[in-house]
């Protein structure tokens, strides 16, 4: 069986679930098209360039192998895959392990002797051994006007809390040192099931973000929260960060600061006083690292509203920030809003935004020079502190102690920070 995995961490988790099921049923995974009887392509359909990349990958798999099953977000877009590649065997949407397995069974019967015991209890992981994504829900109840995810992935469906905790426990037992909690809206966990009480380890546990964080915090490994919105109840998890039970890190996609634009975007928690919330979080947990993403040049954004966003950056002093120039994704409601900002101006605003934030991020990093930080090692000489999520944030580059063995991936060490640059810290192991 061949497998091509494209897209975001949520798609990556879907790939892991499918690979786990394939292995559980005795299918072998082949690293080349030649060695495979069939290829599964997990696609992304978020922006036009991702659609193109996915269609190209399907074309390549068809040319190289010929038997192809397509899954993922692009599969949810009615007819797109079949129109471009009529030769694919089957198309399913995202988060559809059963659909993919049904198509696999139809075209490649299950091997006779499944060595189910060869599959490790934590499943097959595509991330390095020492960190893993933990997907707690699928879909989203919001309808942000620039986003088509709900139309592809449907409304919020929270995974049962007991199942999430068992997966987390298995990962910890298998040597994972850091869990990255992901979803479309982590703060909404459990809303769809009215925060139903589940069971973990023989104890009742509510399907709710705070209770989940408390339980994850008891596993003794790093827990990092992504895609959290600034709702009042998020304040409840900040003390857990201050107490060191989960990492003092919050990834909050604010997207803008102008109330009018946030309303046009239909953002969750758009009526909250974000700056006040940030101040309150920092008062409880001064160590907290805040990461966010923004969109510059949203339809109708005036120069004054853009400047409001720049002023917000000055006030908020966020640690890590990404910014996209608005991209009119096909099918997104925002494209119909009046006052589209010309592409050149969108790019220009993005550049102005990043220029301002670069100085803020660099200054915040510099403030860490002279401190000793706990660092999780990714590779020899390279690691990350609580402030750095893998792939998207910076690194802590360190020299090992002379005479002592080199730190290895998955080790937790202390590093004295000696200097900083725009993204990374540099220091030596103590
Ligand atoms: S919160 Fe908004 S941007 Fe995020 S997935 Fe839901 S609709 Fe899309």
The pLDDT of residue 418 is above 50: yes
Residue 239, token pair as written in the block: 């003390």
Is the Cβ–Cβ distance between 177 and 383 less than 8 Å? Answer: no
The pLDDT of residue 286 is above 50: yes
Q: Is 150 in the pocket of ligand 1 (CB under 6 A)?
A: yes
Calculated CA dihedral for residues 425, 426, 427, 428, nearest 10 degrees: 120
Atom of ligand 1 nearest to the CA of 227: 4
246: phi then psi, degrees, rounded to nearest 5: -125, 165
HSE-up (13 A, CA, CB side) for residue 87: 14
Cα-to-centroid distance, 389 and ligand 1 (Å): 21
Q: Is 74 in the pocket of ligand 1 (CB under 6 A)?
A: no
Return the pLDDT at 345: 97
pLDDT digits (tens, 9 = 90+) for 212-230: 999 999 999 999 999 999 8
Report d(CA 347, CA 297) in Å as an integer: 8
C-alpha distances out from residue 205 to 188, 217, 234, 312, 408, Å: 16, 14, 18, 38, 36
Report d(CA 167, CA 375) in Å as an integer: 24
**CB-based burial, 310-343: b 16+ in 10 Å, e otherwise:** bebbeebebbbbebbbbebbeebebeebeebbee
Top mean pLDDT of 46-55, 224-233, 348-357 is at: 348-357
Q: Is 19 in the pocket of ligand 1 (CB under 6 A)?
A: no
Judging by DSSP bridges, how do beta strands 382-384 and 372-379 pair with one another? antiparallel
pLDDT digits (tens, 9 = 90+) for 151-173: 888 999 999 999 999 999 999 99
Report d(CA 50, CA 44) in Å as an integer: 6
Cα-to-centroid distance, 207 and ligand 1 (Å): 20
Atom of ligand 1 nearest to the CA of 185: 1
Atom of ligand 1 nearest to the CA of 229: 1
Cα three-residue angle 295-297-303, rounded to 5 degrees? 120
Task: Choose the weakest-confidence range: 38-47, 274-283, 341-350.
Answer: 38-47
């Amino acid at each position: 069986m061949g497998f091509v995995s494209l897209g975001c961490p949520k798609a990556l988790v879907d790939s892991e679930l499918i690979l786990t099921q394939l292995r559980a049923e005795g299918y072998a995974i082949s690293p080349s098209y030649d060695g495979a009887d069939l290829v599964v392509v997990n696609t992304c359909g978020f922006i036009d360039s991702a659609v193109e990349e996915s269609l190209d990958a399907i074309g390549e798999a068809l040319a190289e192998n010929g038997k192809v099953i397509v899954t993922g977000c692009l599969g949810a877009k009615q007819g797109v895959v079949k129109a471009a590649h009529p030769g694919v065997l089957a198309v399913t949407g995202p988060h559809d392990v059963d659909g993919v397995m049904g198509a696999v069974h139809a075209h490649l019967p299950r091997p006779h002797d499944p060595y189910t015991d060869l599959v490790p209890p934590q499943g097959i992981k595509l991330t390095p051994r020492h960190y893993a994504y933990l997907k707690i829900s699928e879909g989203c109840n919001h309808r942000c006007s620039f986003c088509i995810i709900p139309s592809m992935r449907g409304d919020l469906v929270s995974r049962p809390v007991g199942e999430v905790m068992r997966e987390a426990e298995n990962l910890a037992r298998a040597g994972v040192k850091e869990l990255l909690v992901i979803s479309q809206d982590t703060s909404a966990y459990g809303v769809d099931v009215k925060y139903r009480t589940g069971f973990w380890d023989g104890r009742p546990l509510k399907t709710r973000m705070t209770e989940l964080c408390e339980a994850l915090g008891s596993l003794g490994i790093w827990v990092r929260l992504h895609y959290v919105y600034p709702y009042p109840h998020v304040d409840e998890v900040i003390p857990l960060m201050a107490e060191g039970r989960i990492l003092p890190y919050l990834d909050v996609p604010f997207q803008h600061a102008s109330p009018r634009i946030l309303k046009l975007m239909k953002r969750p928690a758009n009526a909250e006083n974000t700056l006040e919330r940030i101040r309150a979080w920092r008062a409880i947990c001064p160590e907290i690292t805040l990461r966010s993403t923004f969109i510059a040049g949203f339809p109708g954004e005036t120069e004054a509203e853009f400047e409001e966003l720049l002023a917000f950056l000055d006030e908020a002093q966020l640690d890590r920030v990404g910014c996209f120039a608005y991209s009119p994704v096909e099918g997104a409601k925002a494209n119909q809003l009046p006052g589209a900002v010309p592409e050149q101006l969108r790019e220009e605003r993005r550049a102005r935004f990043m220029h301002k934030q670069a100085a803020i991020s660099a200054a915040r990093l510099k403030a860490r020079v002279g401190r000793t930080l706990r660092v999780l090692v990714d590779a020899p000489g390279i690691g990350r502190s609580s402030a750095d999520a893998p792939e998207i944030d910076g690194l802590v580059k360190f020299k090992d102690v002379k005479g002592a063995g080199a730190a290895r991936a998955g080790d937790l060490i202390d590093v004295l920070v000696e200097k900083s640059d725009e993204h990374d810290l540099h220091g030596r192991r103590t």
